[in-house]
């Protein structure tokens, strides 16, 4: 049975043009953590973050709570938050999880993929190969365009697997691995080719 829709119904949330301030702060903080601009273990002071991201304490607190739920920040009992640690043993578990998840997704993608999937994959690989990994020669400086092409290539590999939840899990693992890569890039690895 269809229910009548009121003519003055408020717009659906998906139609909202602008994200909330908390969502905007969350995205920016998340990007800064994943890019390694906020070091593991760094104390995240509410007042400093509010000033840096141009928001009040409530949106920043909400953003930090979301980051804690995602495992990118740690809640300190009665003392605020800090950037989540990045330990070698965590990386080992992350790599193993990523290999297991992406292998399953890739196996499905290969068995289910069609000509359009194959064409999209070839195009993504071609675009990745045409972009320099570093913005500078002689010293490594991450190229955001390469990072985006690299992400799209991995997404294209798995796109035909037919399991959206698995794809989402693989995306989260890839982002977390990217955080470790960004942290490694802040060290002396000018010749790395990953």
Per-residue model confidence (pLDDT) at position 5: 46
Closest C-alpha among 52, 46, 47, 17 to residue 32: 52
Q: Would you give the end-to-end CA distance of the chain in angstroms?
A: 56
The DSSP secondary structure of 161-191, one letter per residue, reads G--HHHHHHHHHHHHHHHHHHHHHHTSS-TT
**pTM recorded for the entire structure:** 0.73
- Residue 172's Cα: distance from chain center in Å? 6
Residue pointed to by tokens 């906020």: 38
Closest C-alpha among 68, 59, 75 to residue 21: 59
Please give the domain boundaries of the chain with CATH numbers for all domains: 13-83 (1.10.10.10), 88-185 (no CATH)
Distance separating alpha carbons of residues 41 and 72, to the nearest angstrom = 10
Distance separating alpha carbons of residues 94 and 147, to the nearest angstrom = 19
pLDDT tens, per residue, the chain with 194 residues: 454 444 454 454 444 567 888 899 999 999 999 888 899 999 999 899 999 999 999 999 999 999 999 989 999 987 889 999 888 888 999 999 999 999 999 999 999 999 999 999 999 999 999 999 988 888 778 889 999 999 999 999 999 999 999 999 999 999 899 888 888 876 655 555 55
Per-residue model confidence (pLDDT) at position 21: 87
């Amino acid at each position: 049975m269809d229910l009548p829709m009121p003519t003055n119904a408020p717009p659906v949330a998906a139609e909202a043009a602008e994200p909330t301030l908390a969502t905007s702060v969350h995205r920016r903080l998340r990007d800064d953590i994943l890019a390694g601009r906020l070091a593991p273990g760094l104390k995240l002071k509410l007042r400093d973050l509010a000033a840096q991201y141009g928001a009040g304490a409530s949106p920043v607190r909400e953003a930090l709570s979301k980051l804690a739920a995602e495992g990118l920040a740690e809640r300190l009992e009665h003392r605020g938050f800090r950037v989540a640690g990045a330990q070698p043993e965590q990386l080992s578990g992350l790599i193993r999880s990523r290999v297991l998840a992406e292998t399953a997704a890739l196996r499905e993608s290969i068995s289910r993929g069609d000509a359009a999937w194959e064409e999209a994959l070839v195009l993504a690989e071609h675009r990745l190969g045409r972009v320099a990994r570093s913005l500078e020669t002689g010293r490594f400086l991450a190229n955001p365009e390469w990072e985006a092409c690299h992400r799209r290539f991995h997404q294209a590999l798995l796109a035909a697997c037919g399991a959206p939840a698995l794809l989402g899990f693989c995306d989260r693992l890839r982002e977390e691995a990217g955080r470790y890569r960004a942290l490694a890039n802040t060290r002396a690895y000018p010749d790395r080719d990953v």
